[in-house]
Amino acid sequence: MKTLLLALLTSAAASAASVSDHLGLELWSLHALADKSGPQAALAETEALGFRYVEGGPPAGMSVDAYKAELARHRIEIVSMGVDYAALARDVSASVATAKALGVQYVMLAWVPHEGDTFTEAEALKASGDFNAWGAAFRAAGIGFTYHAHGYEFRPRAGGGTLFDLIAQRTNPEFVNFEMDVFWVTHGGQDPVALMKKYPTRWKMMHVKDIRRGAPTGLYTGHAPATDDVVVGTGQVDWPSVLAQARAVGVDWYFIEDESTDPIGHIPRSVAYLATVKP
């Protein structure tokens, strides 16, 4: 089974190479395993699944050096790591130092703190200014800063467009770009292909994640039940079109992210589906 999965992953990576160059795993997919058995177990599972590239930072309580040693032991390269808004606001230099020590190409921020389910224009403007400053700090260290939209940013503005449009317009492309999570873009009522076409130079990474057929969309909560996350290729997303457009706009990295109730069961099936896609 492992040999078959490795072959499928190699084939999927070859397909992904036609749109970027690499296919990896977002380690959040295995957070339940890490919580239960430790981060070493999650990295061992990542290796067993055939992945060589990941997105994910050092687990709580593990030093950067220890994390790098664990990654090396499992023959895994970390390409991107998540960063926290509050941590960046407190001391961006510390996060820059961690990212530089890990040797990542990118960092991604996936959540702007806000009250309840309503993300406001004022919060979007504040975040845009912060992103520009933080992005400049990471750029000085040779690392790309990306924002991972989570759905709440697609709330319409009174003057037209969305809050995501406001963020895209108010951030400097030299310092700030985006990671597309296809699930959350769709959940927020957007067409991933159209959004890539609208901002063709801003997309650097992608979370490959499908949304259940029949699941409600056009919501701005940034939250959904785990049962709405399904095996890639079985949901609402037109993956051949999405991957073709991703290739056209030059997405660098793809990470399978599975937030379902059975990620270890789903991930191999998602990999097998990607091996069939010819974008």
The CATH number assigned to the domain holding 85 equals: 3.20.20.150
Nearest 5°: the CA angle 187, 190, 192 is 100
Tell how many helices (H) and how many strands (E) occur in the chain: 11, 10
Q: Is residue 226 part of a domain?
A: yes
Mapping DSSP to helix (H, G, I), strand (E, B) and coil, where does residue 134 land? helix
Please report the beta strands in 16-61, taking only residues with DSSP state E, as ranges in sequence order: 22-26, 53-55
Q: How many domains does the chain fold into?
A: 1
**Structure token digits, residue 146:** 């990306």
- Express each pLDDT in 253-273 by its tens digit: 999 999 999 999 999 999 999
pLDDT in tens, 145-156: 999 999 999 999
Mean pLDDT for the chain overall: 92
Please report whether residue 79 resides in a domain: yes
Asked whether residue 222 is assigned to any structural domain, the reply reads yes
**SS3 (DSSP) at 116:** coil
How much is the CA Rg of the chain, to the nearest whole Å? Answer: 18
CA 165 vs CA 106, 162, 182, 195: distances in Å: 22, 5, 17, 10
Dump pLDDT digits (tens) for 208-233: 999 999 999 999 999 999 999 999 99
Domain membership of residue 182 as a residue range? 2-274
Residue 106: CB atoms within 10 A of its CB come to 20
Domain-embedded: residue 279:
no
Asked if pLDDT for residue 4 goes beyond 90, the answer is no
* pLDDT cut 70: percent of the chain above it: 92
Quick one: which H or E segment has residue 257? none
